[in-house]
Amino acid sequence: MSVVDQNLKRSPTRKHDGVTSVEAEATVEVATASRADAKPARKPRKATSGSASASAAAAAASAAGAAPAPATVGHGPLPAGAPAIDAIVDPAVFREAILRKLLYAVGKDSSRASEHDWLVATILALRDGIVDRWIDSTRRTYASGKKRVYYLSLEFLIGRMLFDALGNLGLIETAREALAPLGVDLDRLRQAEPDAALGNGGLGRLAACFIESLSSLKLPAYGYGIRYDYGLFKQAVSDGWQREIPEDWLSFGNPWEFERPEVAYEIGFGGHVVDEPRDDGSVRRVWHPGEKVLAAAYDTPVVGWRGAHVNTLRLWAAKAPHPIALEAFNHGDYVGAMAQRARIEAISRVLYPSDATPAGYELRLRQEYFFTAASLQDLVRRHVQAFGTLENLGEKAAIQLNDTHPAIAVAELMRLLIDVHGFAYDDAWRLTRQTLNYTNHTLLPEALETWSVQLMERLLPRHMEIIYRINWHHLEAVSRGATQDQDLIRSVSLIDESHGRRVRMGHLAFLGSNKVNGVSALHTELMRETVFADLHALFPDRIVSKTNGVTFRRWLQQCNPALTSLLVETLGERVLDDPGALRGLEAHADDPGFQARYAAVKHANKEALAEIIAQRTGWRVDPTAMFDVQIKRIHEYKRQLLNVLETVALYHAIKANPERSWPKRVKIFAGKAAASYTQAKLIIKLAHDVARVINTDPVVGDRLKLVFLPNYNVSLAEAIIPAADLSEQISTAGMEASGTGNMKLALNGALTIGTLDGANVEIREHVGEENIVIFGLTADEVTAKRKAGFSPDERSTRLTRVLYEIETGVFSPEDPTRFDPIIEALNRNDHFLVAPDFDAYYEAQREVDALWADQPTWWRMAILNTARIGWFSSDRTISEYAAEIWRAQPL
């Protein structure tokens, strides 16, 4: 019997606040949540030394040198005996655990089990061991009484989790040995696991890196998001055109998660707000929603490095309070009986539904409020349970809003404090400001969300009242500041009156937060100068910089095991724990023997990627060629178009001088365009049409190939990044907030060609300007060029010819006008300054050609990129958040 099974057998069932829960719940929390919300504290009260706070008592005992008393949650100490993880270090024990799960949890005999059955059994056997650490981590969190971090993100691009967990626990080879005698290949199981595609790109992957680093640094934390049924779409490519297919990652269930049916919160929409008298004669505002949705919790343990701590990722699914309208069903309206359920459950169906229609637009807002409200109710309930009061919320909880999607948290937390827990407005505002923090990820206007006042008043009437009140106090304070500047007042107002009255969610998050951070030094400075310039002038200490990072556990150790082995052999095992230890590689950068071994690792990774390219696209590429990689969301500001245009120009140059010794190059693209982003989808089609011409030209041969790998996701990134020689980071300067792909690629030894945008600026500082290729306009020059304008007459002959061939159908003879929208956008205003940067980009690529031809120099530069990129670890980023924003300490 496993430890978990023993726990469940021993634990009685008890009732808390009307909700039945099992004490041995893996999160070790008394489930006080109910469908009507946790019981509010009738009066705010301050915690005292005599309060019944088990965590405070334990902390005091610990400080006094005594053994801390067990927390008053759960059922007592863990059962005696070796924890499951320690036991399954033995491959034979792990094998037996897998076989038991296969039989008793999956219900299959080993002779009949499918690959997926073995995957599930392996995950469940591993999960049992993780749960022991999970329980222990949660108990230690309660006992310590330390501040908790709550990370709210609409996206968590987790990817596959099996190797993530095995790697962090040091069990990859153990699992391989356990499965081999059963005739099961661990690497095949790895490929069978679906990607949890709960994110679109950098924003969601950053959240996944952060939640892992929070566990690795032993910071008590919760991640909160939405359990999308379909996540981001699966990208199919038909004749060069992107097609969106549902990504049904839950089709076989999710063995990592624990459903929490006893943890469900009512989320309201619509209705009306009325005055209701209190016993003391005062009046309070009461919201009566017209529609109620249940937010049901699903928990996934997130294990940190070496298994030292396990945090929780809690995702919410939308459920109907009544699954069927029985009366309608009994009257024969079978479809109508399910209509309300379908409407409600659509909230958690798909990540980023198209907002091109009024219904889709409203659904986006419903999604954002749904997960934010559920998360805040949950953390407030947990806080009251642990500390008995909300007076110390800001001292014991730090909430991080990942971009503007959860910005409604400002109004929702105010509503909970005022309407549910009886706080006065000023006290509620103080607590809200102490607790919330906001990360801005973009300066693009379309990403700084605004919502129409009309929709907000209809869907969230009480929140709109609170926003009006916040804005009134805010503008009163601005007016008292000896200014009657109406332009300033309009600029800093939460309501934008110039575009049909819209609520500025970025402004709301800014006002309601203790700290507002950018995600690179350049991005932070541009925030101060552009989108939040006037707010920054009013609150000059609020904006801070926290440059993004990536978890090296996944983006080096897991995705590039051969390079990791070389690093450990060269530098010792401390390189696995300390990214700063990579600096030791500098001493080997000029060693021809080490260069050869480093290059051999890269070549093997390229051979593996070449096979994937052949399987997915049908194109055969030479792994001895330079692999020139641009992998990211398809967007005009990321300038995949600039890359394609340069590819055509290079094609012309090779055709014009075929006798020249051109270095072999494979241009590799991957990324998804938003379903409604017509121009981005057209760029994908252009890439395919150009590839069709170049890749079949016998004159060019293997000297130049272009491939587009469909359905870019975390797992595909893990194959591409270790094989990349050149990293394309060519966004229009001033438009990429940070980027994290640039960090992952440099870590794995790819040289960067890029503009001085986002984290490229800091990467150049760390790796050395001689080890990166920078081109193009700076952010200041971009601003000046946009003001001055750029005429098509200023284009070089080289670019003019490229655009002429695209416009006249050289690459699309069956439809010569296909790419007219691209040409028109470049002729009309060229907002992303493709043409002004084209020649500089072309010349920078020829500099790359020269570097590639000098292989000792190339490998020296690649090794130094790996050696000097250690600062870009997400552990460093999270440590900075903890020390300077959250004021949180590890256990």
Tally of CB atoms within 10 A around 829? 12
Q: How far apart are CA 341 and CA 319, in angstroms?
A: 7
Of residues 234, 260, 705, 744, which has the active-site annotation? 744
**Residues linked to residue 873 through DSSP beta bridges, in sequence order:** 550
Give residue 585's identity as a one-letter amino acid code: L
Q: How far apart are CA 845 and CA 839, in angstroms?
A: 10
* Surface-to-core class of residue 652, CB atoms within 10 Å of its CB (0-12 exposed, 13-18 middle, 19+ buried): middle
Query: Is beta strand 258-269 parallel, antiparallel or unpaired with respect to 291-303?
Result: antiparallel
Of residues 16, 140, 528, 633, which has the active-site annotation? 633
740 is a catalytic site residue: yes
User: Do 877 and 549 touch, CB atoms closer than 8 A?
Assistant: yes
Helix, strand, or coil (residue 410): helix
Per the listing, tokens 């701590």 go with 309
| CA-to-CA separations, 105 to 92, 125, 187, in angstroms, rounded | 19, 10, 22
User: Do 537 and 572 touch, CB atoms closer than 8 A?
Assistant: no
DSSP 853: H
Tally of CB atoms within 10 A around 30? 20
* Surface-to-core class of residue 144, CB atoms within 10 Å of its CB (0-12 exposed, 13-18 middle, 19+ buried): buried
Of residues 312, 732, 740, 752, which has the active-site annotation? 740
Q: What is the DSSP string of 198-244?
A: E-SSHHHHHHHHHHHHHHHTT--EEEEEE--SS-SPEEEEETTEEEE
Q: Of 728, 758, 702, nearest to 845 (Cα)?
A: 728
Both tokens assigned to 845: 């690529």
Q: How far apart are CA 160 and CA 195, in angstroms?
A: 5
744 is a catalytic site residue: yes
Region of 823 please: left (phi>0), alpha (psi -120 to 50) or beta.
Answer: alpha
Q: What is the DSSP string of 530-589?
A: TTTHHHHHHSTTSEEE----B-HIIIIIIT-HHHHHHHHHHH-GGGGT-GGGGGGGGGGT
Per the listing, tokens 């014009």 go with 656
441 is a catalytic site residue: yes
Of residues 638, 672, 681, 766, which has the active-site annotation? 638
Of residues 381, 441, 463, 766, which has the active-site annotation? 441
633 is a catalytic site residue: yes
Residues annotated as catalytic are 441, 632-633, 638, 740, 744
